[in-house]
Chain A
Amino acid sequence: MDEYLLEIRNLKKYYPSGKNQVKALDGVNLKVKPGELVSIVGESGCGKSTLARCVIGLETRTEGEIWFHGEEISSYGKKQMRPVRKQMQMVFQSPYAAFNPRQTLGAGLREVGKFYGMKTGEIRDRISVLMSYIKMDEELLSHYPHELSGGQLQRLAIARALMVKPELLIADEPVSALDVSVQAQILNILAEIREKENMAVLFISHDLAVVEHISDWVAVMYLGKTVEEGRKEDVFSQPFHPYTDALLASRPREYPWQEKSSIMLKGELPNALNLPEGCRFWPRCLHSQAGLCDKCEPEWNQQENGHRAVCHLVETLGKTERRVS
């Protein structure tokens, strides 16, 4: 238990929709070690953000357990969550929406410190440390959010989340709204802070290049379930699940002279109201076998280094060479 900072067990989140239920999360298992960067990838609608919101308590889960630091926090109320949130902070996709437009940025940062009971001196020191991490001038703290660019605001949003020295940072698509050059800044900063503060990060993204760049561990989600997880190098070089394979193949090539990949994922995510029987990926799967994949749900198939996938065909497909290197 103590080996992991965060452990999610069989987490489910259903939203009622008329007589039916939307199964946004349908049994997610995930573990994060202290100081580790775990990425969650998947198409939009697969439940990535819902997962993040359940972990930090912005949504209440329907079923399942969330263990943080040896405590089961999924049933905690607002008051009980407060000390937990001191160790777990979140950064959102849109930096513009993250700040109060009527407050200077410095006031926004100080407010967080005060809320968690830090002393004025402590707050001041912490802010100057953070500003050096994010390579911004402290003078900017007297400005208002609208005076800054998206990249600057996102850096400040990270700084604000780090005010209380959390052990886990949840970053929900923190770079998707930003330009390439700004994205590079944020990724560098995240990597640097992670090293200096020994902080774990739960990184949510649909950008595979970014994920490959910064992660230690990768979990691939499809329709409310993790379908594959493993060390970054294993998942990217030898994906087990046909979905991961297709996802990797749909990346645009890095250089124009590279060969075009031939596997394409057709169609889009099926409706989460009405999940397919058997393996939830079979209607889009290139390798699905009638009578097996469309009938029974596959189990986790574990291989070396904790690399595992939910697919009936891991053994059969396992050794096929990937077409894109």
Chain B
Amino acid sequence: MSEKKELLKVENLCTDLITARGLYHAVRGISFQVHEGEILGIVGESGCGKSMTVKSILRLNQEDKTFYKGKVFYWKGTGRKNLLELSRKEMSRLRGREIAMVSQNPMAAFDPLYTVGEQISEMLRFHKGMNREEAQAETERLLEMVGIFPGAKRSRQYPHEFSGGMLQRAAIAMMISCGPRLLIADEPTTALDVTMQAQILEILRELKEKMGMSILLITHNFGVVSEICSRVCVMYAGQVVESGTVEEIFKNPVHPYTRALLRGIPRKGREGRQLETIPGAPPRLNQEIRGCGFAPRCPLAKESCYHKMPEPWEAQGHWSSCPGQFCQVLESGEEEEKICG
């Protein structure tokens, strides 16, 4: 793991937002790294701060109402830069060219008044200084690369003439047009059918394999993670609670939250049985958290968990903010009850 080169390293990032209803702690000290040429998945439930994290990395929040703490390092050439310290101008040169982002709603990525081709060409002309003809040719090539044929005709169409899945693919084409080294995909398949999801995931996999692109994939779907990610971070209440290779997390989840989430998924061979649910609700964003944020919902919580974070657990690249005492031994729910009770 350590021989791989880091591309992005987030260290203890906190994002606080000033809102009409007070201060919101959207991200509460998150740390993770993305290595070159890997797909890192970030999973978590809605409101856990996944999207806020990527928005903070790209600094897309309203600047005067947002406070950042911590560091976001990005490696470029020989040195690394802290993105939170860059000027606005430097930041805007970086977006699209070095780090690009695909969002959940492809409709929002395109201006309805311009053709899809014009908007992709614009990227190429702005960032790469191509002329009109070059940009058009490149646009057609990109569209066909993501499976939109014929590129020439399709590039002259408007966003409303595309279906959701096709538009999402066009958004990916637009985002990779300048050859970014890091692609951030924020729930890219959530609004789509399984069949289209499979196609989009295939495109992402190809980008990684053929162009060596690193991808940071935000999702709430463990199926998507198991399909294409190499490593995964599980987020809860603005923090990473567990991280490791996908195999490790699926085989030996350590954190009680991860374990509960995985058990809540309907799976083959367990049809008709009760699915595990997590009692209670995640902490509110404006709430201060003392100790472990998951403690009030945790079946293993001890008195001390409410005051201070438990000692993290780590083994061979697999990290969890909680050792989850009994994890390694147990597989069946019954035994767990016995020990906890």
Contact = CB atoms under 8 A, between A and B. Distances in A.
B313 interface: no
B165 interface: yes
A213 B276 CA distance: 13
A212 B275 contact: no
Interface stretch (B77-85, B106-114, B196-204, B323-331): B196-204
A252 B265 contact: no
Interface string A177-214: 00111111101100100000000000000111110111
Interface residues of A, number: 39
B272 A213 contact: yes
B266 interface: yes
B226 A253 contact: yes
Contacts of B264: 180-181, 183-184
Interface stretch (A71-79, A85-93, A243-251, A304-312): A243-251
A232 B271 CA distance: 10
Given A188-B274, A188-B275, A191-B272, A252 B226 contact: yes
B220 A180 contact: yes
A250 B195 contact: yes
B68 to A, nearest CB: 27
Nearest to A261: B198
A195 to B, nearest CB: 11
B309 interface: no
B300 interface: no
A179 B221 CA distance: 9
A210 B277 CA distance: 15
B206 interface: no
Contact of B193 (A181, A206, A258, A264): A206
Interface string B280-297: 010000000000000000
Interface in B154-200: 163-166, 193-199
Interface in B249-274: 250-251, 260-261, 264-268, 270-272, 274
A43 interface: yes
Contact of B198 (A180, A182, A265): A265
A171 B203 CA distance: 33
B197 A184 contact: no
Contact of A179 (B46, B247, B268): B46
B222 interface: yes
Interface in B222-264: 222-227, 229, 246-247, 250-251, 260-261, 264
A149 B47 CA distance: 11
Nearest to B229: A256
B278 interface: yes
Contacts of A43: 193-196
Interface string A287-321: 00000000000000000000000000000000000
A207 B221 CA distance: 11
Given A209-B223, A210-B266, A256 B247 contact: yes
B194 A251 contact: yes
B265 A180 contact: yes
A226 B264 CA distance: 30
Contacts of B195: 43, 246-247, 250, 265, 268
B45 interface: yes
Contact of A188 (B197, B220, B277, B278): B277
A266 B164 CA distance: 15
Given A180-B222, A257-B247, A187 B275 contact: yes
B267 A184 contact: no
B180 to A, nearest CB: 25
Contact of A268 (B163, B220, B272): B163
Contact of B194 (A150, A188, A250, A257): A250
A44 interface: yes
A110 B309 CA distance: 45
A93 to B, nearest CB: 12
A255 interface: yes
A180 B261 contact: yes
A223 to B, nearest CB: 13
A125 interface: no
Given A188-B274, A206-B194, A246-B195, A252 B266 contact: no
Nearest to B232: A256
A188 B276 CA distance: 9
Interface string A208-252: 111011100000000000000000100000000000001100111
B202 A181 contact: no
A264 B261 contact: no
A215 B195 CA distance: 21
Nearest to B273: A213
A186 B247 CA distance: 28
Interface in A113-142: none
Interface of A: 43-44, 149-150, 179-185, 187-188, 191, 206-210, 212-214, 232, 246-247, 250-258, 260, 264-266, 268
Given A181-B277, A188-B274, A213-B266, 19 more contacts: A43-B193, A179-B220, A181-B278, A185-B277, A209-B266, A212-B266, A213-B270, A213-B275, A214-B266, A246-B195, A251-B198, A252-B198, A252-B201, A252-B223, A255-B226, A256-B247, A257-B247, A265-B198, A268-B165
Q: Would you list the 4 A-B pairs with minimal beta carbon distance, nearest first?
A: A252-B223, A213-B266, A184-B275, A184-B264
Interface of B: 45-46, 163-166, 193-199, 201-202, 220-227, 229, 246-247, 250-251, 260-261, 264-268, 270-272, 274-278, 281
11 contacts: A43-B195, A180-B45, A181-B45, A181-B278, A183-B264, A208-B194, A214-B271, A253-B227, A256-B225, A256-B229, A265-B198
